[in-house]
Amino acid sequence: MGGGNYSQNIAQRQRSSNQAAFQQPAASTTGTLHDALNPFGKRREVNNVTPIVVALDVTRSRGDDTKLMYDKLPQLMGQIELKGYTENPGISFCAIGDANSDRAPLQVGQFEGDNRLDQVLERIWIEEGGGGTGQESYELAAYFYSRTNCVRLAAGNGKKGYIFFVGDEGFYPKLDKAQVRRIIGDELAEDLDSAEAFRRLQEKFHAFLLYPQKSMDERKSNIDAEIKSRVTKAGGQYDGVDVRASLLWDNRNDLDLHVVAPSGFHIFYGAKQSDCGGWLDVDMNVGGNTTKPVENVRWSKGTAPTGRYKVYVQNFRFHEPGAEPTRFKVELEIGGRVTHHEGVISPNGQTSDASNFVVAEFDYAPAPVKGASKPDAYANYADDVILAQWSKVIPKEHILRVGDPKSIIDILLGALAIADGKVDLDTYLKDMKELGADEVRLRDAEAALGGLPSAHKVATASIEGDVPPPPGAGKKKPVRL
């Protein structure tokens, strides 16, 4: 793969005539992983001098970045050619989702240097899923590109490549061997620390993270969106409640949500409605028919009784082969306060009562809820927490914050050109200005790229003549600096 040149004329004609790209609806039941992007049993090779990977998060929070990349790709390729920012690039586009929940958690294109890149982007399924946990499967992509012979350097002229992760969440701390087998087709003897996958990756690629920043309100909206989407699509009540417990997991096993009301009434699949107004209005995976299930117990506004509630999860039955443990998440809303609780059920294959996992016990009253002050349910989604995790696996100076997503291409291109030694930051900003970039884009690029080690070149000076010797010293020979 690779080779050829990217034609701006072909690219513009393609974009003006092709209205079908990215038209699959989010979470579509008909959407599928394109065979050309399926990583199972495949390796990607590059015949270009400079291998470049652009790994895009296509979950709910960042799905539009792929469309932006498609729109801006002619600009990216045109500037590389015009300015000579790197030699003979071959780009592999990669789409990342959540291996615990999505149908296409990893999509991988060939390394290309011509207009076949457009086709790769058009074929990406923007599933807009994600597991609602604040983590995506970046470590799976790191492993795929780290494998031996994944990159074949070009006839002695190749060099270490560049990989740019574009995303705003953390990664899973372990690379699950079962996921590797199912999605990539490799057999691992045991789960692999994600840090090791990233270490192996950086034997072949300089790794960068482009981190689009957003407010915590925007983050909260995205974090809650997956649970809300599943509950409402299944016909459950999410808004307008006094008390709500929503259970989310990401496989076909039959997990059950249980809530014991203050009266002692036990709400579960066998008794879905209580006399006190509680209702299990969504009960899923009795037959194991979905990998994106949810269950929901709620009391509508003005109906929840005062008293103590108990919430627990039970693994009623395995539908997945292997009887492996299941990660789950429970979102509790108590008088308008939302908290998140995560756990792993059935670590030793337990089912029914033996698997019961108590999530929380709490007091509710129409007045402010009793008990301790509210913990920050979103603490693990804060920028500093996410970036601290990334800084353990890639160089801190390679973590580039993006103020406006429209600047992603500018920052990616600048990082590539500066790291490849073709320009310094001042030269790159000058190039951007000559090409019509406004002050906002210039400031965003300068802020993101200013911390790169090679962003600022130190000017050298040449001094003609003798350098005066220090006092008391003999005359020195002329020194040219």
H/E stretch holding 244: strand 241-249
Q: Looking at this protein, which amino acid is placed at residue 143?
A: Y
H/E stretch holding 226: helix 216-233
SS (H, E, C) 268-330: ECCECECCCCCEEEECCCCCCCCCCCEEEEEEECCCCCCEEEEEEEEEEECCCCCCCCEEEEE
Tell me the pLDDT tens digit for each residue of 143-164.
999 985 544 444 455 578 999 9
Pair (185, 247) in one structural domain: no
Pair (143, 237) in one structural domain: no
Pair (323, 248) in one structural domain: yes
Does residue 254 lie in a domain region? yes
Task: Indicate whether 478 pLDDT > 50.
Answer: no
Does residue 323 lie in a domain region? yes
Pair (19, 70) in one structural domain: yes
Here the tokens at position 225 are 């969106």
SS (H, E, C) 336-353: CEEEEEEEEECCCCCCHH
* Residue that finishes a domain, picked among 371, 392, 426: 371
* Residue that finishes a domain, picked among 371, 400, 433: 371
The count of structural domains within the chain is 2
Q: Domain range spanning residue 238? A: 226-371
Pair (238, 148) in one structural domain: no
Tell me the pLDDT tens digit for each residue of 367-416.
654 444 444 555 556 788 899 999 999 999 999 999 888 899 999 999 99
d(CA 288, CA 179): 19
Does residue 463 lie in a domain region? no
Pair (154, 33) in one structural domain: yes
Pair (57, 147) in one structural domain: yes
Does residue 477 lie in a domain region? no
H/E stretch holding 414: helix 408-419
Pair (171, 316) in one structural domain: no
**C-alpha separations of 331 from 178, 225, 257, 377, 481 in Å:** 27, 12, 12, 10, 66
SS (H, E, C) 423-456: CCHHHHHHHHHHCCCCHHHHHHHHHHHCCCCCCC
Residue in 173, 180, 210, 178 with CA at minimum distance from that of residue 195: 173
50 near 86, Cβ under 8 Å?
yes
pTM: 0.69
Pair (237, 116) in one structural domain: no
Does residue 473 lie in a domain region? no
Torsion of CA 71, 72, 77, 78, to 10 degrees: 100
Pair (356, 411) in one structural domain: no
Does residue 287 lie in a domain region? yes
CATH number of the domain within which 423 lies: 3.40.50.410
Does residue 459 lie in a domain region? no
Residue 203 or residue 129, greater confidence: 203
Pair (282, 168) in one structural domain: no
Query: For residue 39, how many C-alpha atoms fall within 13 Å in the half-sphere facing its CB?
Result: 31
Does residue 478 lie in a domain region? no
Confidence of residue 479 (pLDDT cuts 50, 70, 90): very low
- The total number of residues shown for the chain amounts to 481
Pair (257, 341) in one structural domain: yes
